[in-house]
Amino acid sequence: MNILVTGAAGFIGSHTAERLQELGHHVIGVDNFNDYYSLELKQLNENALKDKGISVMHLDLRDANALEKLPKHINYIFHYAAQPGISVTSTFEDYFTNNVIATKNLIDYALQLEDLKLFVNIATSSIYGLEATFTEDVAPKPASHYGVTKLTAEQLVLQKSREQQFKSCSLRLYSVIGPRERPEKMYTKLIACGLNDEAFPLYEGSDKHLRSFTYVGDIVDGVVSVIDNENKVNGEIINLGTEVEHTTKEGIEAVEQVLGKSIKIEVIPKRAGDQLRTKANIDKARTLLNYNPKTTLLEAVKKQVEWYKENF
């Protein structure tokens, strides 16, 4: 199959592109290589993909004309490209253009593809709101510009299933961790602070927040399992993550255990829109995709520490 992966130089997108190629598919990657975080890391990911024969096109989905450069014989689209996370440095326009306008442009491109089997939108538990412990049929209450614009993107994609213009689904991912995690995310930052003897900035009260910290390999298992299941998943929203909850404090302790040293903590003011609890309800994923994540938090942290030490 010919498969397009947007955001392919990013954290989860790069892992997905690799897995799809290992499964024997022809993968084309797309990334706009913006400077939201270190271009060095994106280039590292791109080089890893190139080593495995996967090319990444430098292209911004917000530019509708640029999409004319994309191939016209695509069977599956995995849409990761987005303005990620909750950040004081990101404006509403950043979220709106990258998450809504870019998705609309990609949909318009997808409508031209005669061989498209499935458009897979990659969504987030942030769509649910401050608490993300629910089944997929619960009304979302996003509490950030990120969550609101990702919900909008999700509905734009699923609209095409309702209109029977192409088959689509949306996968809501939960607190993904592992090698290649972005530098501003919790575990990469914890590891860096521990190894460099720097203080980790902890948002006030967040040590008690609960998370479904899910290893990236387990997430990719669920993502790629939609292939050949397009009739089952068409029009569906599906949660992917682990049902096991850990506090942020337990996450810090896991990194300290792997590094064999304590990490200095600097408490900083709370962040607006930060989720208090995420616990993936994956009954639907089990039923439709036989999904069963198994990697423990400690195993995931060990793999991420190994990756960090090898590359930084």
Domain that holds residue 72: 2-173+215-241+281-293
Within a domain: residue 198?
Answer: no
Least confident span in 158-167, 206-215, 268-277 = 268-277
| pLDDT at residue 284 in the model | 98
Within a domain: residue 113?
Answer: yes
Within a domain: residue 183?
Answer: no
Radius of gyration of the chain (CA): 19
Whether 88 has a pLDDT exceeding 80, the answer reads no
Spatial distance between the Cα atoms of 177 and 296, rounded to a whole number of angstroms: 11
Within a domain: residue 188?
Answer: no
| pLDDT at residue 87 in the model | 76
Whether 149 has a pLDDT exceeding 90, the answer reads yes
Spatial distance between the Cα atoms of 177 and 289, rounded to a whole number of angstroms: 21
Within a domain: residue 62?
Answer: yes
Instruction: Quickly state the pLDDT bin for 273 (edges 50, 70, 90).
Output: confident
Q: pLDDT tens-digit profile of 116-142? A: 999 999 999 999 999 999 999 999 999
Within a domain: residue 34?
Answer: yes
Spatial distance between the Cα atoms of 195 and 295, rounded to a whole number of angstroms: 24
Look up residue 182 and give its two tokens.
């972005």
Instruction: Quickly state the pLDDT bin for 85 (edges 50, 70, 90).
Output: confident
Residue 80: give its domain's CATH number. Answer: 3.40.50.720
| pLDDT at residue 36 in the model | 84
Within a domain: residue 7?
Answer: yes
| pLDDT at residue 272 in the model | 77
Residue ranges in the chain assigned as alpha helix (H): 11-22, 39-51, 92-95, 102-110, 145-162, 186-196, 216-224, 230-233, 248-259, 283-289, 297-311
Total domains in the chain come to: 1
Mean pLDDT value across residues 222-245: 98
Within a domain: residue 307?
Answer: no
